[in-house]
């Protein structure tokens, strides 16, 4: 497993990041522990979670994924410094007016909950889950800067920010001498490119941000389980069916052939390798819901596409301004 710098920080992280949204949802605690054990044994040190995971599931109040990860960290006995733990703040956790957002009140309350559930005294990467149009960015960044100064947070990042809000945040940090966002977690994959590539990529490149794409397999579409003649119903079909098109069915055929030329690599491994071929991408976030999915995802580590192979995939999924 190769290791990469997270933007301009001193953090060295594995080329794949384990996402945990499925913990306490489609993967129970026992399975989550098995996935975490196998992931770390394979050399992955970077784990991403969020305080709200997964409060959209009936009976899940949020905080469950963090709590499972915290139990595993204690159970595993792995020295804390060998792990890079990322979590997020923004979503609603409660019923009171200040139980969501990026205000000082909410962030200061949320960080204590995350630290408690994770069973740690610091978070390596604390991320704004999405922007808060109701809170001045100066207030958000000043609060996050305080957490860095206190040692509760090592670095800060953001997710789901449009380019202008990300640029604004970076400039406010510079002008006010505050901690700055050192990473972006965008929705980015081979069939969902424009959202990141149109403007955000240039911002990340210019300011040296690490890029941690989520949904690298397009809701399961880029695993190849959906095909022209077998677009069956499944729990995740809703998030994948927007990619059902003749051009994308042809793309899967191309990826399958490319995989055969790369020692039988799977379609999902080719999709992850396409992201890893971009030097700006730090670590795609994988979200396996079974040990079989995990082993398949891990097979992308070290897989390198040739320049010609990347060009073929680039041209097959071009987008227009």
Structure tokens that stand for 218 in this block: 């397009």
> For residues 133 and 24, what is the distance between their CA atoms, to the nearest angstrom?
30
User: Edge to edge, what strands does the sheet with 46-48 contain?
Assistant: 210-211, 181-185, 153-159, 123-128, 84-89, 46-48, 17-19, 285-286
Q: Which residues contact 245 (CB under 8 A, 6 or more apart)?
A: none
Q: Burial, 41: exposed, middle or buried (Cβ in 10 Å; 0-12, 13-18, 19+)? A: exposed
Structure tokens that stand for 310 in this block: 């990347």
Structure tokens that stand for 102 in this block: 């990026």
Give CA separation, 20 vs 195, 228, 281, in Å: 23, 30, 20
Catalytic entry in 53, 126, 181, 214: 53
Given a contact cutoff of 8 angstroms between Cβ atoms, the answer to whether 218 and 189 are in contact is yes
Given a contact cutoff of 8 angstroms between Cβ atoms, the answer to whether 23 and 32 are in contact is yes
> For residues 264 and 256, what is the distance between their CA atoms, to the nearest angstrom?
9
Element at 196 (helix H, strand E) = helix 194-197
Termini Cα distance of the chain: 36
For residue 221, how many other CB atoms are within 10 A of its CB?
A: 29
Q: Catalytic annotation on 126?
A: no
Which residues are marked as active site? 53
């Amino acid at each position: 497993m190769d290791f990469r710098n997270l933007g301009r920080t001193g953090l060295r992280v594995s080329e794949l990041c384990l996402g945990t949204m499925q913990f306490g949802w489609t993967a129970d605690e026992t399975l989550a522990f098995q996935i975490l054990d196998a992931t770390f044994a394979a050399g992955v040190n970077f784990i991403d979670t969020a305080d709200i995971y997964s409060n959209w599931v009936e009976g899940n109040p949020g905080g469950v994924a963090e709590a499972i990860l915290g139990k595993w960290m204690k159970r595993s006995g792995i020295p804390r410094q060998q792990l890079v733990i990322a979590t997020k703040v923004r979503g609603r956790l409660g019923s009171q007016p200040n139980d969501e957002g990026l205000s000082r009140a909410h962030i200061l309350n949320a960080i204590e909950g995350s630290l408690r559930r994770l069973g740690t005294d610091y978070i390596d990467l604390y991320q704004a889950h999405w922007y808060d149009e109701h809170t001045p960015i100066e207030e958000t960044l000043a609060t996050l800067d305080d957490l860095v100064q206190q040692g509760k947070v090592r670095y800060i990042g953001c997710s789901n920010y449009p380019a202008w809000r990300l640029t604004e945040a970076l400039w406010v940090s510079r002008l006010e001498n505050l901690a700055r966002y050192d990473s972006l977690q965008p929705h980015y994959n081979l069939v969902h490119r424009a959202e990141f590539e149109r403007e955000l990529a240039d911002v990340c490149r210019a300011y040296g941000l690490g890029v941690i794409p989520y949904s690298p397999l397009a809701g399961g579409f880029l695993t190849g389980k959906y095909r022209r003649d077998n677009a069956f119903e499944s729990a995740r079909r809703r998030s994948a069916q927007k990619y059902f098109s003749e051009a994308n069915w042809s793309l899967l055929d191309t990826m399958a052939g490319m995989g055969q030329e790369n020692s039988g690599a799977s379609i999902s491994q080719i999709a992850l390798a396409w992201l890893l071929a971009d030097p700006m991408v730090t670590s795609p976030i994988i979200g396996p819901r079974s040990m079989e999915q995990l082993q398949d995802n891990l097979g992308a580590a070290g897989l390198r596409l040739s320049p010609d192979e990347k060009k073929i995939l680039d041209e097959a999924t071009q987008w227009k301004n």
